[in-house]
Structure formats: C-alpha cells, structure tokens
C-alpha cells in the first residue's frame, strides 16, 4: 500500500510541476497564466464528460502567487481534467457504501483513453487504472481516497469540502 501511495504521489507531483518560475527565454512549451487559463477555458467548454452532482468548472483556473510564473503547455488542460477526475472521485467516495458508484467508475475509467491522459499523465504501470479504479470496482476505495486527499485540493477548496 505504501508503494502504491508513493507512486500516486509521484504521479501527482509530476503533474504538479507544470507551474515553474520565469526563465530567461519563453519557449513554445511555456505559457503565461493568461495563456494557460485560455487553454483551461477552451478545455472546459468542450469537455468530453459531465461533471458529477451539479458541479461546475470554475470560471478560471487557480493563479500562481507570482505574476511572472510560467506554465507548461498542457497545464490548463490538465487542470480541467483533474477537476473533473476529482468531481467524479468525490461522487464515488460518497456513494461507495450503497453501490451506486459503478456508473461513475465506468465514467472515470474513460479518462484513461483520452488524448490528454495518454499525453500528459505519466502512468507507465497503469497505477491509476489498476489501483485507483480497479480496486474501487472491487469495493476497495482506499487508494482512491489517498489520491483524492493528495491531488484534489483545488477541487475541495472550490467546493468547500
């Protein structure tokens, strides 16, 4: 279990490194907050899956504390996907006792087939699919709970959870 959690934490940290300090050159792979936020907004406008339980995407993604912050290309898109993942996990975790979460688990599994997941989510060992989703399908949501606790801070803050 500790190894699984460490792997999930590593995946979360790898995705979380997207915001970086101002560099001497602004390459094509880095965006300002405004550009990254536009990427986020474009993604939320055409998002392939519905949010759970009346959740709505925030109008803007969170902004770094520094105005000079640069973001990796894909960061804004990732913020939208993570918000959706967290919304879906929240529904699953809150409904795991009555079994009504199976539909949400099927929806969550679909994210692993998206271009975003295949491009940006580094999960060579299929930890997300096997440990987070697979175990939850068998009734064990403990790994999903760890993932939700470590990677869904923004979602929980926005929703007062």
Residue range 124-161, pLDDT digits in tens: 888 899 999 999 999 899 999 999 999 999 999 999 99
Angle at CA of residue 148, ends 157 and 8, nearest 5°: 130
Kindly tell me if the per-residue pLDDT of 18 is higher than 50: no
pTM: predicted TM-score of the whole model, two decimal places:
0.81
Kindly tell me if the per-residue pLDDT of 19 is higher than 50: no
Q: What is the pLDDT, as a whole number, of residue 124?
A: 83
Q: Per-residue pLDDT tens for 23-61?
A: 434 556 899 999 999 999 999 999 999 998 889 999 999
- Which DSSP symbol is given to 23? -
Contact 102, 133 (CB under 8 A): no
Cα 9 from chain centre: 12
Contact 148, 155 (CB under 8 A): no
């Amino acid at each position: 279990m500790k190894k699984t959690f460490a792997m999930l934490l590593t995946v979360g940290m790898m995705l979380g490194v997207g915001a970086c300090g101002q560099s001497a050159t602004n390459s094509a792979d880095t965006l300002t907050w405004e550009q990254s936020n536009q990427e986020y907004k474009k993604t939320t406008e055409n998002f392939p899956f519905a949010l759970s339980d009346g959740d709505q995407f925030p109008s803007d993604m969170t902004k770094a504390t520094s105005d000079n912050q640069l973001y990796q290309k894909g960061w804004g898109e990732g913020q939208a996907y993570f918000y959706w993942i967290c919304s879906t996990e929240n529904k699953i975790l809150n409904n795991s006792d009555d079994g009504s979460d199976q539909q949400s688990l099927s929806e969550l599994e679909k994210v692993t087939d998206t271009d975003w997941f295949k491009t940006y989510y580094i999960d060579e060992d299929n930890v997300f699919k096997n440990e987070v989703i697979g175990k939850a399908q068998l009734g064990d949501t403990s790994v999903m709970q760890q993932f939700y606790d470590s990677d869904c801070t923004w979602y929980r803050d926005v929703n007062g959870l």
